[in-house]
């Protein structure tokens, strides 16, 4: 399980989430930030600080946002 960054981050990218993640698993993509779902420890710290409510737990996000989990997997998979 992991937290996932969704569409409100696009074009926003303030990066507050990056500063609070205790395991440093958030990275900047081309037009949004991504959380590495294999490293995220589900602490919720990033969700608490996101000013645009872009971050959701995998189990709580809307079905149409599941594409963002896919994008995160692709982003970190491609970076390896």
Given the complex with ligand SF4, which of 13 and 71 has the nearer CB atom? 13
Given the complex with ligand SF4, which of 38 and 78 has the nearer CB atom? 38
Given the complex with ligand SF4, which of 20 and 61 has the nearer CB atom? 20
Q: What's the rounded Cα separation, in Å, for the pair 50 and 44?
A: 11
User: Hey, which residues between 7 and 26 contact ligand SF4 (CB under 6 A)?
Assistant: 9, 12-17, 20-21, 23, 25-26
End-to-end, the C-alpha distance of the chain in Å comes to 20
Encoded tokens for 72: 């995160």
Applying CB under 6 A, which of residues 4, 55, 69, 72 lies at the interface with ligand SF4?
Answer: 55
Encoded tokens for 75: 């982003």
HSE-CB of 7 using CA atoms within 13 angstroms: 6
* Residue 5 is a binding residue for ligand SF4 (CB under 6 A): yes
């Amino acid at each position: 399980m992991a937290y996932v960054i969704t569409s409100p981050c696009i074009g926003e990218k303030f990066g507050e989430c990056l500063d609070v993640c205790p395991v440093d698993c958030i990275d900047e993509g081309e037009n949004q930030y991504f959380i590495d779902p294999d490293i995220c420890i589900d602490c919720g710290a990033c969700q608490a600080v996101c000013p645009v409510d872009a971050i959701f737990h995998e189990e709580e996000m809307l079905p149409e946002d599941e594409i963002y989990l896919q994008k995160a997997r692709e982003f970190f998979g491609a970076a390896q």
